[in-house]
Structure 1
């Protein structure tokens, strides 16, 4: 006898708001799920979203365009557009709600799929378990929130182990942790269990309360001079404020000893 199927919860309504020259995406609530500056649609507007690009500190700039980026949760498409258009990477985005994909293409200048871009409508937890993705992703960016924005929708050690299995040896995962129920410590524990404590780095929270955490597939600790040089290159080539990141970004475990 088969088990009865569970009813799929209704997906939230997608809408946008404009304030001056910034357009923001909402999922049935006042919470902002992503933003775009109308006169610079391929730039990354929000500070925490910029920090999701901190994986660039761990690779050499000339290698970036040969790598593969994957976003779990499309938001307003900022990371996807930046990876595809500015970094010129192969880019895959996984989004549960087809209305979000439609909104990004209609309101947020997300380009159509092509040889370097694929937007997949699917449950991220199921999609990333497919064997074809294992060991193929260099930059995994996880930003999975529902319309209440209370805590990440997927936030278990098993989920983060599945994320780690996606990564190449040099690959990094960045995660946006934000929630009204002070879930940061619990989330950090789950990430550390999956990746190992010495593989985890974290930013200080933004003023809005977003904390970006980075986890490496393989632990590496570039020296300060290397990080400074890479940060300067990131700012010069792609306009991201990477030198400022170094003041608010550090390993969770300060020493490997």
Structure 2
């Protein structure tokens, strides 16, 4: 059950736990002060944390992906948002921790259906098994310290590239204070070369890296991209547009 704002827990280090404030339901890992996921109690389908809105920046380049794969469920903010606002997109989410999956109902993650499913598996092994290629691959994996070591290896990012369709987009959430951050970024640059850019959130906490299997980033007219896509609701666009301007500014300075 969710914890109240005043409750505490003696959960083992690394175990996901819930904390309820007046306005939000939070997920944290025992032993870590970082908030892994936040859900607004007023609007459970909104993107409460800035880094999640930044990760949706792939819509500037592909506003209607057919297949999306995500590694790391967390509180389900991103897959839940995509399920609601990208109705033509097939979504698979791979999560290694059964304790995280067990909290999906608390965070209003939709049940599995014809176009949405949560898969209990190791993300690295899942990519090595050569899954069907996707238009968008989101990596938002966190073990309480940063990106898990197994997902910081260059071979993992090579598997990410192999999973992308031509012009497919990879989006990775890195944690600036983690010792794994420079290692992951260096491996991403080795694999994707110049087809990559990085956006830092306002809190200087998260680095969102966008990488592409192709040259899509260099060919996108951002003046057109920053208009609301026809297939995206006004509510979704209202949430995303201010953050997308940060991506635009980053690309102009690139």
TM-score bin (small chain): 0.7 to 0.9
TM-score normalized with structure 1 length: 0.82
> Gaps (5+ residues) in structure 2?
1-11
Distance in 1, Cα, partners of 2:37 & 2:170: 19
Contact 1:201/1:252 (8 A) holds in 2? no
Deviation at 1:233, TM superposition (A): 8.2
Following superposition, the deviation at residue 231 of structure 1 comes to 7.6
Cα distance in 2, alignment partners of residues 233 and 84 from structure 1: 13
Counterpart Cα distance in 2 of 1:244 and 1:42: 17
Q: What is the CA distance between 1:70 and its match in structure 2?
A: 1.2
Residue pair 2:95, 2:101 contacting (<8 A) in 1 also = yes
Root-mean-square deviation over aligned CA pairs = 2.5
Question: 3-state SS of the aligned residue for 2:246?
Answer: coil
CA distance in 1, matches of 2:252, 2:120: 34
Distance 1:12 1:244 in 2: 31
> What's the CA shift for 1:17?
0.6
Q: Distance in 2 between matches of 1:168 and 1:230?
A: 24
The partner residue of 2:224 within 219, 223, 226 is 226
In 2, Cα distance between equivalents of 1:204 and 1:235:
26
Q: 1:212 aligns with which of 208, 213, 223?
A: 208
Q: CA deviation at 1:49?
A: 0.8
Which whole-Å deviations, capped at 9, do the CAs of 1:44-98 have from their partners, x for residues lacking one?
Answer: 1100011111111112x4x34xx11111010100111111122122110000111
- Tell me the residue number matched to 1:3: none
Q: What number of residue pairs does the alignment pair up?
A: 236
Aligned to 1:80: 79
Structure 2 CA distance for aligned equivalents of residues 128 and 58 of structure 1: 23
State the 1:150 CA deviation: 3.8
- Tell me which residue corresponds to 2:168: 171
Q: Distance in 2 between matches of 1:91 and 1:151?
A: 22
Q: How does 1:100-115 map to 2 (within 5 A)?
A: 100-105=100-105, 107-115=106-114
Q: Which residue is 1:17 aligned to? A: 19
**Aligned match of 1:91:** 91
Q: Is 2:49 the counterpart of 1:52?
A: no
Per-residue deviation, 1:16: 0.5
Contact 1:14 1:25 survives alignment (8 Å): yes
Q: TM-score scaled to structure 2, two decimals?
A: 0.83
SS in 1 for 2:68: strand
Separation in 1, partners of 2:240, 2:29 = 28
* SS of alignment partner, residue 104 of structure 1: coil
Taking structure 1 as reference, are residues 199 and 209 closer, same or farther at Cα in structure 2, changes over 3 Å only?
A: same
Identify the residue that residue 27 of structure 1 maps to in structure 2.
Answer: 29
The answer for unaligned runs of 5 or more in structure 1 is: 1-9
